[in-house]
Structure 1
Amino acid sequence: MSFAVARTDSSILGRWWWTVDRWTLAALACIVLMGALLVAAASPPVAQRIGLPTFYFVQRHLLLLGPSLLVMIGVSLLSPTSVRRLAMVCFLGALGATVLTLFAGVEIKGATRWIHLGPLSVQPSEFLKPAFAVVSAWFFARHHAAREAGQRFPGNLIAIGLYLLTVAVLMKQPDFGMTFVISAVWFAQFFLAGLPILFVLGLAVMGVTALVGAYFTFSHVASRIDRFLNPASGDTYQVDRSLEAFVNGGLLGTGPGQGKVKLSLPDAHADFIFAVAGEELGLFATLAIVALFGFVVLRGFQRLTRDQDLFVVLAAGGLFTQFGLQALIHMGSSLHLLPAKGMTLPFISFGGSSLLALGFGMGMALALTRTRFGMHGDKR
C-alpha cells in the first residue's frame, strides 16, 4: 500500500497515510486478526450452552468489528483540536448516558451498566473512559499554558471536579474496575502535568484509602480480594480452570478449536479469552500477544517523546496507558496474578461496546501521534 500512495498525494487519505504511525497500525491489525480467530474458537460452546445459535457471538463480533475499525480510521484523520472537541462532546454524552443507566439501566450480575437502544445493549462507561482521558488532558494542559503566560485558568480544579463526578457516577453502578482504570490514568496525567509532590502524596493516601473503603463497602470487591489472597476462602472455579488451560496448552497449544476450557468457562469468549489462547495456541503465541500490546504502548510513548504539545503528550499518553492497563488487568486476572476482574482484552475479547469504544480511543491516539510539521517544515 505504501507504493500505491505517493508522497506527493495531497488528498486527506494520502496525507493520513504518510503521517500516521504505520507500525502501530500493523500491530493493531495483528491484534484484531488474533481476536477474530479466538472469538471464533472460544464462543460457539458458550453460545450453545445458553441456547443461542452456534455462531451467534462470532457473527456479532465480526459485524461490530467493521464499524469499530471504520471509527478508528475516521477519528485518526482528525487534527488534535478536532480530537479535543470530539472528546468533549463524547464525554458529555457518555456521562449523561452513564447517569441514565442508574435509572433506566439493565441490571446484570448486580450492576446497572447497560442501557438498551433498540436491539442493542450499550455500556456508556466504555466510551466515557477514553473521552475523559482526553478532556482531563486538555484542562491540565490549559492550566499549565495559562500559568506559563502569567494568566490564571482553573484547569486543574475543573479536572479534579470532573474526575470526582465521573468516579461518583461509576461507583453508583457500581463499576470498580472501570473506576480503577480511569483513576490510574488520571493520576498519571496529573503527575506528568506538574502536580506538586505534596499533592502526589495526598492523592496516594486518598487512593489507598479508597481501596480499603471499597473492600469494606462492596462485598464483591472483598470476595475477589479474599479469594486472590486465600483461594480456600471461596469459589475460585474460573481462575482454576484458566490456570489449567495454560498448563494444558504447553508451548505450542492443542490447536485452534481443540481446547476444552471453553466448554466449562462461562466467559471464555470475553473475560477469560486469554486462557483460551493459552490452551489452544500455547505459550509462544500468548507471549506474541503480550508483545503486540507492549509494542503498541511503547511505540506510542516513543512517538510522544518528540512532541512539545503538552495536551498531545497527556492525552495520547493517557489513551495508550488505558490500552495497556486494560490488557494487563485481563491477562493478570487469567493468570491469577491479580484479583479476578471482568475486563475485556482489547480488540480480542467479544464485546460490542468495548470494540466500538476501543476503535474510538485508539483512533484518537493515532490522530494525536501522527507526524505534524511546524511553521518551518520541521517534523514534531
Structure 2
Amino acid sequence: MSAVALKPSFSELPARDLADDFGGRIADLVDAALSGDHDHVRRVASLFAQGYSGDDRRAVVGRIQAAMKKKSVSLDQVRSVERLPVDNKTRIPLAEEHPWPTTPLLLEDDQDEILSRFVGEAKYADTLARAGLGSRFNLLLSGPPGTGKTFIAGHIASRLGLPFHVVRLDSVISSLLGDTAKNIRALFDFANHGPGFLFIDEIDAVAKKRDDGRELGEIKRVVNALIQALDTLDERTVVVAATNHAHLLDPAIFRRFPYRIEAPLPDEGMRAALWNLYLYQDQPRPEIEPLAKISDGLSCSDIRELSLSARRTAFIHKREIDICAVASAVLSSEEGRLRLPSSQEFDAKSKRELTARLNARELLTMKQVGLLTGVTRQAATTKVKRQREKV
C-alpha cells in the first residue's frame, strides 16, 4: 500500500477566509481578536500560516504555531460560564481547544478511504438527518503509542472546519464517587450546543469492559454514563476517540463507533515517506531508502522526533544534516526509547564503526551502507575483509 499525503483542509470556512488576501486576513485577525472570537482567530491564523510564502516564511509560521500551541484555549474562553463544564472543586476545564495541525498527514490507502468517507459524510450531517439517513459520526482510532492518532484527529477537525477540542481526562476522572459520570455528562452537554467536535484520547480509561470482575462498580457507572452520552449526541456532533488498548473496551462502546481506523507501526514504505517528509521536507534523497529499512519498529512519532532533532542541530551549527548521526541514532533507538542524533560531527573512525554496525544488521547493500556513512564501497569492503581475517 502507498502512503497518501493529505494537507490540512479548510473547505468549510467562509469563502472570505479562503481568499489569498494578505490585508484581508490581517483585518480578519484584528476583528476576531477584538471581538474575543478565539475560534475564528485560530482558523484565520492557520490559514495564514498555510498560505504565507514570504522569504521569512519559516520564522513567521514557527511563531504562529508556537503561539497557538502555547495559548491553548480552554472551554471557559469559548462558551459562557453558565455552560462551562468544569470540575466544581478544581475549576479545571474538562477540554481545551488545540490548534489544527499544519503538517501534511500521511495515510495508507485503506486508512485514507475510511477517513475520507467519514469526513465526507460528516459534512452533510444535516442533509442526511433530514433524509432519514442520520448516523453517529463517531470514529475510533486504535494502535500503539506514537502512531499519529492525535494527529489524525486534528486533521479531521481541520477538514470539518470545527474547533479541535481535546478532552482532558485528568480533569474528567475524579476520585469522588459519581463525579466522573457527572463530568462526562457535562462534557457532552457542552458538545451538543451546535456543531461540535470532541477528541477523547485514551478512551479505555473510561470505557473498560463492564464484565471485568476486577473493576469496581464505579467504572461500570462511568461506562454507562458514557454510553448514554454517546446515544444522546446531536447528529451534528463529531466524536473521535483513540486507544492504545482496543481489547480493553466494552463491546457496547465499540458499537457506538461505526467508523474505525487502525494505526499500526509504519511499514517500510510509510517509514520512507515519513523520513522524506520530516527529515528532508519532501526533497527525495537516496539515503531515505536505507533509513526506512533500518528503522523497523520505530513509530511515526519516533521518526518525526529523530528528524526534527537532526534538523535543529544542522540549523544551529549552520551545516548539512548529518546522516551518519541519524543512522547511528536509529540503530541505538527502539520504540518509545529514543537516542537522539549526536550534535558532534562523525569523524573517520566513527564512520567506520557505524559501517560495521550497519553491516552486522545484514539489511543493506554495500552501496546503501555507503549512503548512510559516506564510506566508499571499496573502503567498506576492505574493512569487512580485515574483520574476517581477524576471526
TM-score by length of 2: 0.24
Higher strand share: 2
TM-score by length of 1: 0.25
Greater relative contact order: 1 or 2 (C-alpha under 8 angstroms, separation 6 or more)? 1
Q: Which one has a bigger Cα radius of gyration?
A: 2
Higher helix share: 1
